[in-house]
Amino acid sequence: MGVSAPPTVAYLDLQAAHLELAAELEEASRRVLGGGSLVLGPEVEAFEREFARFVGARHCVGLASGLDALTLTLEAWEIGPGDEVLVPSCTFVATWLAVARVGAHPVPVEPDPATGNIDPTAVGAALTDRTRAVVPVHLHGLPADVDAIREGLGDHDALILEDAAQAHGASLRGRPVGSLGDAAAWSFYPAKNLGALGDGGAVTTDDDALAARLRSLRNYGLEGPFRHERRGSNSRLDEVQAAFLRVKLTRLEEWNERRRDVARAYLSGLRDLDVDLPHDPPDADHAWHVFAIGADHRDGVRRGLEERGIGTHCHYPVPPHLQGAFRGLGLGPGALPRAERIAGRTLSLPMGPHMSDGDVERVGAAVREVLR
């Protein structure tokens, strides 16, 4: 009696974003309903133009998902069986799946423990004469050092495909993520910093030929009326999702700014605790898709936070090489110790542009209490 339920802070509050934008999203859907075109129409074209400009790339090609953006780019580069592609050992499984789906061999590169991103100094040692590409991931929104990776490639002609699915609006030394490599793959899964109200993806690139090939591959390999030059896919961005994305793109910078405020408050509030805090380098603008700490007894900390009404997530408790999907590679426990250490300790705190200062304080206080 008289004891109120503990305040709850959701891991991610998508509803708040959609409520803020309700009128504009309704207007966008009305535009599509009245327009008569539901796939590859004017909304997709406009979004592609607007997102290409945002990223500072010549082209944007809208696709059905981030996984397709990765896969179709590798396919457009004619990477396949017998080829090797360098991937981070510490990433979401989709990065590896894309390589496997084109029949190529994913070669893991361990992270720099300080950043969690692919260690550029380890790239050179992983190269062979079969290496065709490297796929750095901007994990949690922290830009991977694509310039240092390029240096690590030396005069090897491997292509760089940025996996930018977690880093909309991030930048490295003043240049936006997505314009750093030869191409970049994006996801607009609802929970991403720029999310649709369903699935979506895109590739940005300066390469005219790659963009043209992707436009063909996403649409049954079509090259002209009834001419199918490639064994393409059906991987198109819907008009209604493009219309929603155009609305949400107008808020991306403002919402990322708020994420940065939340991250700064966490970083200073948790500074003196016995946890690993995420890296926030001065020469990069982090997009703070995820704010992940590293802790001993992670599962206990997670339970303690849940008991106090704090939602958490785990990105990711099992690295790709220990997933059943990649059992065939023969990389057992202990094969990639840096990725495994991060996987065992990582815990993501609530993060999003609609968190109040009170929410941030409640999370900080709960983390302190649990760790004490």
Residues at the site binding ligand PLP, with contacts judged by CB under 6 A: 65-67, 91-92, 94-95, 137, 163, 165-166, 187, 189, 199, 201
- Closest to ligand PLP by CB, 73 vs 95, is 95
- Closest to ligand PLP by CB, 94 vs 305, is 94
Nearest approach in angstroms of CB 348 to ligand PLP is 12
Helix (H, G, I), strand (E, B) or coil at 209: helix
Helix (H, G, I), strand (E, B) or coil at 40: coil
DSSP structure class, residue 129 = T
- Closest to ligand PLP by CB, 54 vs 186, is 186
Question: What percent of the chain is helix, strand and coil (3-state, nearest 5)?
Answer: 40, 15, 40
Half-sphere exposure of 185 (CA within 13 A, CB side): 26
| Residue closest to ligand PLP (Cβ) | 66
Residues in the chain: 372
- Closest to ligand PLP by CB, 185 vs 360, is 185
- Closest to ligand PLP by CB, 273 vs 318, is 318
Residue 185: strand pairing partners: 163, 203
Angle at 264 between CA 263 and CA 267, to 5 degrees: 85
Half-sphere exposure of 66 (CA within 13 A, CB side): 26
The separation between CA 275 and the C-alpha centre of its own chain, rounded to angstroms, equals: 24
Half-sphere exposure of 107 (CA within 13 A, CB side): 18
Nearest approach in angstroms of CB 286 to ligand PLP is 15
115 Cβ neighbours under 8 A, 6+ residues apart: 142, 144, 279, 281
Nearest approach in angstroms of CB 372 to ligand PLP is 33
- Closest to ligand PLP by CB, 91 vs 216, is 91
Report yes or no: 19 and 246 within 8 Å, Cβ to Cβ: no
Nearest approach in angstroms of CB 93 to ligand PLP is 8
Nearest approach in angstroms of CB 273 to ligand PLP is 27
Nearest approach in angstroms of CB 188 to ligand PLP is 7
The separation between CA 31 and the C-alpha centre of its own chain, rounded to angstroms, equals: 29
- Write phi, then psi, for 155 (nearest 5 degrees): -100, 15
Report yes or no: 264 and 258 within 8 Å, Cβ to Cβ: no
- Closest to ligand PLP by CB, 199 vs 359, is 199
- Closest to ligand PLP by CB, 202 vs 331, is 202
Distances from the Cα of 307 to the Cα of 3, 347, 351, angstroms: 15, 15, 18
CA dist., res. 93 & res. 91, Å (int): 6
Nearest approach in angstroms of CB 149 to ligand PLP is 16
CA dist., res. 143 & res. 251, Å (int): 21
- Closest to ligand PLP by CB, 249 vs 270, is 249
